[in-house]
Amino acid sequence: MAQGLLTDTRLSPLPAADAALVAQLQQGSEVAFRTLVARYQDRIYQTAFSLLRSAEEAEDVAQEVFVEVYQTIGRFRGEAALSTWLYRLATSRALKNRQRARAKKRFAFFTSLLGFNNETLHEPPDHGHPQALLEGQQQLQLLLAHIARLPDQQQVAFTLRHEQELSYEEIAAVLETTVSAVESLLFRARQTLRKHVNPLLRHV
């Protein structure tokens, strides 16, 4: 995935502030790495959290992203914004983690059916903010549940647009696609969500 970004020429050029940071990182500056983490940790963590809805898994993904950046920064040629690369790493790793968790769950279910173990199957803990659990927030909770069921690309596009407030162009760069493809992903995501969340919201 990182390799894809390193050779992609469609993405926006590297902003000056990030260019200086990348140059220092490539020289092995620990101060620069600390600055990078401080600058991006919240955005990366929030993106992972939005896709996984688990504080523990979001922390894990965010750590993995920065470790990968540290290990592969030497190959970064600055043809894309640093934030684009980070968002791309975060979203792909979050989706991979989720697929792994689902496969594990399916395997556990299968083995429990065959009686190989007596582990109790349980849903991952719900770390939704208490605010979302209040009576008046039921619709938001329902929305979050349905966002989690969207196809991967739609979910990433929707999350980056509505929770990270990225522009269509930025989302297209993260997903390595075109702006019209992002528009289509968002249209389909909204259509699905409006259909499921509330009959009143059905008109798209």
Residue 201 is a binding residue for another protein (CB under 8 A): yes
Residue 158 CA to residue 31 CA, distance in Å, equals: 34
Residue 203 is a binding residue for another protein (CB under 8 A): yes
Both tokens of residue 190? 């909204």
- Considering the complex, what minimum distance in angstroms separates the CB of residue 176 from another protein? 25
Total interface residues for another protein by CB under 8 A: 36
| All residues at 6 or more sequence positions from 168 whose CB lies less than 8 Å from its CB, including other chains | 161, 179, 182, 183, 186
- Considering the complex, what minimum distance in angstroms separates the CB of residue 2 from another protein? 16
Residue 197 is a binding residue for another protein (CB under 8 A): yes
Q: Is residue 193 within 8 Å of residue 146, measured between CB atoms?
A: yes
Choose between 139 and 178: whose C-beta lies nearer to another protein.
Answer: 139
**Which range touches another protein (CB under 8 A), out of 82-90, 107-115, 178-186, 192-200?**
192-200
- The neighbour count for residue 108, using CB atoms within 10 Å, is 16
- Return the DSSP state at 135: G
Both tokens of residue 149? 């069921």
What string marks each residue from 39 to 78 as x (binds another protein by CB under 8 A) or -? --xx--xx--x-----x--xx--xxx-xx--x--------
Choose between 27 and 138: whose C-beta lies nearer to another protein.
Answer: 138
Q: Provide the residue type at 25 as one letter.
A: L
Both tokens of residue 152? 């991967």
Helix (H, G, I), strand (E, B) or coil at 115: coil
Instruction: List residues binding another protein (CB under 8 A).
Output: 34, 37-38, 41-42, 45-46, 49, 55, 58-59, 62-64, 66-67, 70, 129, 131-132, 137, 139-140, 143-144, 162-163, 165, 190, 194, 197-198, 200-203
